[in-house]
């Protein structure tokens, strides 16, 4: 029961963080590992448990998403589903040892992307790439998201800036839709092969949903700088912990 209490607590605050600024994976993945869930299964379970939040985000930005033409959306959906599936399959063939080696670096990448999101996006706007009609970059990011969901939203926003996008609402709408597609692909893949720890997932999903709802009023009251600082500190601490595990 203490394990489930820890998982519920971690998922609740992950839901709060995801609603306010992102970074929920920094809490749920270590909590699952700490309670004895193998790392690959923990990553899959965390991705499935936090997936419902993306649906609300996509629904909330449906007007911005509908601004894209049908042809553009079909290209984006196709590239996203392909990349998400490849990333999910890569996780399936990864041993716990191989994933244990990759996780500290992935956590560090996600934390760094979050910490320097604004400078990265400003740089991307100044050096916009000709990617609007080239989905190769989206496929690469979708592979990352299917393999390891942490920091995906920040990476997507940086990518959109590279495409030359300027409207933040439109960027967030597309980010939510792509995250939902990647999450759905991952959920289907992980569930079919039995990689999800369902008792833990159900507890965490319920807690994360409540946390996401609770996070809305907090997002209006808490200073953004404080929230960002907490996420960066947690992400850095988790990276160091997993690096320490790697060295032992």
Please report, in tens digits, the pLDDT of each residue of the chain (248 residues total): 789 999 999 999 888 877 666 678 888 999 999 999 998 999 999 988 988 877 766 777 788 888 888 888 899 999 999 999 999 999 999 888 888 888 888 888 878 877 786 776 677 666 655 544 568 889 999 999 999 877 787 778 778 877 777 776 788 788 888 988 998 898 899 989 999 999 999 999 999 888 877 776 776 677 767 777 877 887 788 788 888 877 87
Classify residue 68 by its DSSP letter.
Answer: S
Coarse DSSP helix, strand, coil percentages of the chain, rounded to the nearest 5 percent: 80, 0, 20
Cβ atoms of 185 and 81 closer than 8 Å: yes
Helix segments in the chain, DSSP class H: 2-20, 25-34, 39-50, 52-60, 62-65, 70-92, 96-115, 117-126, 136-147, 152-163, 168-192, 198-221, 224-247
Q: Kindly report the pTM of this predicted structure.
A: 0.79
């Amino acid at each position: 029961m203490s394990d489930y209490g820890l998982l519920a607590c971690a998922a609740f605050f992950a839901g709060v963080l995801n609603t306010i600024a992102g970074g929920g994976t920094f809490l749920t993945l270590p909590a699952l590992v700490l309670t004895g869930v193998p790392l690959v299964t923990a990553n899959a379970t965390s991705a499935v448990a936090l997936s419902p939040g993306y649906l609300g985000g996509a629904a909330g930005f449906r007007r911005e998403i509908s601004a894209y033409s049908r042809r553009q959306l079909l290209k984006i959906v196709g590239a996203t589903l392909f990349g998400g599936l490849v990333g999910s399959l890569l996780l399936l063939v990864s041993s716990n040892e191989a994933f244990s080696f990759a996780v500290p670096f992935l956590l560090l990448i996600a934390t760094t992307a979050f910490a320097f999101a604004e400078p990265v996006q400003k740089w991307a706007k100044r050096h916009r790439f000709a990617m609007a009609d080239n989905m190769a970059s989206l496929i690469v990011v979708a592979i990352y998201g299917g393999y390891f969901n942490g920091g995906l939203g920040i990476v997507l926003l940086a990518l959109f800036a590279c495409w030359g996008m300027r409207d933040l609402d439109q960027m967030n709408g597309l980010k939510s839709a792509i995250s939902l597609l990647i999450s759905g692909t991952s959920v289907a893949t992980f569930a079919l092969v039995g990689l999800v720890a369902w008792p833990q997932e159900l507890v965490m999903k319920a807690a994360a949903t409540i946390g996401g709802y609770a996070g809305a009023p907090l997002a209006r009251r808490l200073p953004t700088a404080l929230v960002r600082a907490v996420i960066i500190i947690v992400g850095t601490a988790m990276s160091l912990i997993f690096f320490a595990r790697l060295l032992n």
